[in-house]
Amino acid sequence: MGLFNIFSVSGNVTDDVAKRMNLDRNVDLTFANTLKLPCRAEYFAAPSTLAALRATLSHAHHKDWPVTLLGGGSNVLLPDQLPGLVVRPALQQWWLTRQQGSVYAHVGAGVNWHDLVMATAERGLWGIENLALIPGCCGAAPVQNIGAYGVELGDTLQAVKVMEFATGATYWLSAKECAFGYRDSAFKGPLANKVVITQLVLRLSRKPTPRLNYGDLAARLPQAPTPLEVAEAVCAIRREKLPDPQVLANAGSFFKNPLVSDQSVAQLLKIYPTMPHFPQGKGQTKLAAGWLIDQCGLKGMRDGAFGVHQHQALVLVHFGGGDRDGLMKTASAIADKVEARFGVRLEPEPRVIKA
C-alpha cells in the first residue's frame, strides 16, 4: 500500500487528517472568484506538493466527497454552496530547459499565468507574449485553451502532467491528447472531473516570432519589437477595454464567440454588411458576440445586480449583491435578445460549477 492509500484505513481519522492536510471547513469563496458570486465550500485545501495533492484527493475519494478544482476563480460560475472538497493546486515551481534551439518552460499548476508571461518575455523568449494579462493560474490555462490576440495556449503547449482523482496516479498527455479547440479541450469533455492538471510544458523560442495581425496591435509597436514590448502593448489594449476584476467584478468574456455556418453568415451579411466575421474553414465562420450584443443596444445596460460593461459588450459585470441565479437570468435575457435579432444562440464561456 503506497502513500496514496495511507488514509484509506478504517476508523474516524477525519479531524487528525484535516489538520495534517490543512483542510479548512465552511470556507467563504466569495472573494476567490472574480465575479464575486457568493459561495461557501464545505472543505477547502491548497496542497503545494504532489504528495500533498495525492493525499488530499485520496482522502476525498475515501470520504466519497465530490471534488471541485479551483484556480484563480476567473472563469467559474459558482453556486451558493459547494458540498465536498474544493482543491486549489498550489504547485508554485517553474523552470526552463534548453534543447535543440528551443527553450522549454516547465510550470507548476499554481503559478500565476500573467507572471509567467512577463517572466518569459523579460528573458527574451517568444511564444506566450500575446497572452499577457489573462488572469488565473497555469493549471487552468489548458482547460479552455486560453486565447487572445491571435494566439492560443495550444500553439506552444507540448505536454500536460495530470493526476487522476480516483487513483492518485500521474501521467503525461501530449498536446494532441488535450484535443484543443476554440475555448475547448479534453478537460471540458472526457477528462472533466477526472484529473487535476499539475504541470505544463511550453515550447518557447529565442528566434523572433511576433504575431501582430490582431486588431491594432502592430500599429502600437516598433518595427522589430521584443516579446516584452508585445506583452506590454497587449496589456495596454486590454486595460483600455476590459474592466479590472479588482475594481468591477467580472469573468472576462461571458459568452463564447459563436461558430455559425457560412451560409447563415452570408444571409446575415446581406442585412448587416459591416458585421465582423472570421471564416474558420470547414464551412464555419466565427462571429463577434460582443458586436451582436452591442447591436442590440445592450452595451452599458444594468439589470439589478448585473450589467453589460460599457466598453466591451461581451463582458458581464457584477455590481454587488447578486448571485449565480440572478446572473444566469440576466445572461439568458441577453442571449434571447441576440437570438431574436440574429438567429444565433450565445453560450456562456465560464464553467458552471455544479453544486
Catalytic residues: 183, 253, 349
**Minimum CB distance to ligand EPU, residue 178 (Å):** 18
**Minimum CB distance to ligand FAD, residue 73 (Å):** 5
**Minimum CB distance to ligand FAD, residue 331 (Å):** 15
Written in H, E and C, the secondary structure of the chain is CCHHHCCCCCCCCHHHHHHHCCCEEEEECHHHCCCCCCCEEEEEECCCCHHHHHHHHHHHHHHCCCEEECCCCCCEECCCEEEEEEECCCCCCEEEEEECCEEEEEEECCCEHHHHHHHHHHCCCECCHHHCCCCCEHHHCCCCCCEECCEEHHHCEEEEEEEECCCCCEEEEEHHHHCCECCECCCCCCCCCCEEEEEEEEEEECCCCCCCCCCCCHHHCCCCCCHHHHHHHHHHHHHHHCCCCCCCEEEEECECCCEEEHHHHHHHHHHCCCCCEEEEECCEEEECHHHHHHHCCCCCCEECCEEECCCCCCEEEECCCCCHHHHHHHHHHHHHHHHHHHCCCCCECCEECCC
List the one residue from 53, 76, 268, 293 that touches ligand FAD (CB under 6 A). Answer: 76
Contact code string over 85-124 relative to ligand FAD, x by CB under 6 A: ----x-------------------x---------------
State yes or no: residue 79 binds ligand FAD (CB under 6 A): no
Stretch that binds ligand FAD, among 2-10, 64-72, 95-103, 167-175 (CB under 6 A): 64-72
State yes or no: residue 41 binds ligand FAD (CB under 6 A): no
Question: Which residues would be at the binding site for ligand EPU (CB under 6 A)?
Answer: 148-149, 214-215, 241, 252-253, 256-257, 276, 288, 290-291, 294, 299, 312-314, 349
Smaller CB separation from ligand EPU, 129 or 349: 349
List the one residue from 146, 202, 234, 316 that touches ligand FAD (CB under 6 A). Answer: 146
Residue nearest to ligand EPU (CB): 252
Give residues in contact with ligand FAD (CB under 6 A): 34, 69-76, 89, 109, 134-137, 139-141, 143-144, 146-148, 187, 196-197, 242, 245, 250-252, 351
